[in-house]
Amino acid sequence: MDLLEYQGKQLFARHGVPVPSGKPARTVEEAVAAAEEIGYPCAVKAQVQIGGRGKLGGIKIANDKDEAREHAEAILGMDIKGLTVYEVWIEGASQIESEYYASVVFDRSAKAPLVMLSTQGGMDIEAVADETPELIAHLHVDPLLGFQDFHGRRLAFEAGVDADVVRPVGEILTKLYNTFVTEECTLVEVNPLIITPERTVKALDAKVTLDANALFRHPENAELRDLSGEDPQERMAKERGLTYVKLDGNIGILGNGAGLVMSTLDVVKLAGGEPANFLDAGGGSKAEVITSAVEVILSNPNVTAVLFNIFGGITRCDEVARGLIAAFDQIKPTVPFVVRLDGTNDVEGRKLLADANLPNVFAEATMDGAAAKVVELAGASS
């Protein structure tokens, strides 16, 4: 789960990582009130999870109340690379002398947390990593040992930070690592980590990803929301406990098991179609789950045809068929469905569907055949 900048900063503040003080706002009035409280100059920052928002007009400095109002009016509701800005974060403007970069990531390859520090902050770190990898200091942390003070000093010296800030930078790395572990993050990134003219160190940005599987231990984090990133279908699916990812095409997809669904998207694409979604109905799905999933898929207005690709292991094909029949009864879909049922109880499932004689439902025997058929139908009905 990705957090917005201000949510990340509030998390940092709880763990003693210095951040500029600020307030979130969802309306122009709230933004102006926040600016008045914080004082001028202050920054009005669009809260969307996208890089480069500053260049697109999503970050502006206000020197007085009128400017704060003007910027809030301009930024709230603006579209940044397809995301609508629902919230701004108002914070005291910072004086910047140097821009560093710091992060802690869950390194799957090394199976350990990786801490990185560079003096080349304020820019795209992937570009720094590609062109001048020697300018990023790395350290894998033994998770059983944890991050020690000497690790922080070592990284600071290796990255070549200014001598007078070696200690405070090291301390911030320790606090970022503590945030990472305590809040169970998979990413904590600060770009830029700034040095002010007074030689203090502050996190001017915050990018935090929380481990969704660990949210049960962090109920306060589970409440955090990103209105800009919420797609209506994805929200609906989440409330129903379905694994759904919205895509750009017009062919609704339902399958069981993440790998098979990914594979189905690929096969549909190879057949010349464009999937509208990824939906994994999961293992052992009952009829109600299938019905509920059909509702989510069809709530996307772009969908012109739907493909069911089921290989039953613990999922029983007769349950899937029952779910689809119930969905037709309740929702009365108008788009065609192509259904491929294989595996556990496939014969029963196919018979149920044949007996129900649903309008516009086409049975196919193979995954490849089903993909070709749905691509044909999706084109015809759009």
Partner 1 sequence: MSIFVDKNTRLCTSGITGSEGTFHTLRNRDYGTQVVAGVTPGKGGQNVDGVPVFNSFHEAVEKQGANTAMIFVPPRFAADSILEAEDAGIELIIAITEGIPAFDELRAYQIIKKNGRSRLVGPNCPGILSPGKANVGIIPASFFKPGNVGVVSRSGTLTYQVGNVLAQSGFGNSTIVGIGGDPVPGTDFVDCIAAFEADPETELIVMCGEIGGDNEEKAAAYIGEHVSKPVVGYIAGFSAPPGKTMGHAGAIVSGSQGTAVAKAEALEAVGVKVGRTPTQVAELAMELLA
For partner 1, the closer of residues 150 and 216 by Cβ is 216
Q: Minimum Å distance from CB 173 to partner 1?
A: 19
Side chain identity, residue 24: P
How far is residue 116's CA from residue 139's CA, in Å, rounded to a whole number? 7
How far is residue 232's CA from residue 229's CA, in Å, rounded to a whole number? 10
Among 100, 278, 337, 362, binds partner 1 (CB under 8 A): 278
Asked if 366 is part of the footprint of partner 1 (rule: CB under 8 A), the reply reads yes
Minimal CA–CA distance to 83: which of 43, 50, 52, 60? 50
Q: Minimum Å distance from CB 58 to partner 1?
A: 19
Strands 136-140 and 112-118: antiparallel
Asked if 126 is part of the footprint of partner 1 (rule: CB under 8 A), the reply reads yes
Catalytic-role residue among 87, 91, 171, 189 = 189
Sign, Cα dihedral of 313, 318, 322, 324: positive
Q: x/- site string to partner 1, residues 294 to 323, per CB under 8 A? A: -----------------xxxxx--------
3-state helix, strand, coil in the chain (%, to 5): 40, 25, 35
Residue 355: strand, helix, or coil: helix
Q: Is 101 a known active-site residue? A: yes
Among 26, 140, 217, 235, binds partner 1 (CB under 8 A): 217
For partner 1, the closer of residues 219 and 259 by Cβ is 259
Candidate segments 60-68, 142-150, 165-173, 317-325, binder of partner 1 by CB under 8 A: 142-150
Candidate segments 59-67, 199-207, 337-345, 347-355, binder of partner 1 by CB under 8 A: 337-345
Among 189, 205, 280, 319, binds partner 1 (CB under 8 A): 280
Q: C-alpha angle 252/257/263, rounded to 5°? A: 60
* Active-site residue set: 101, 189
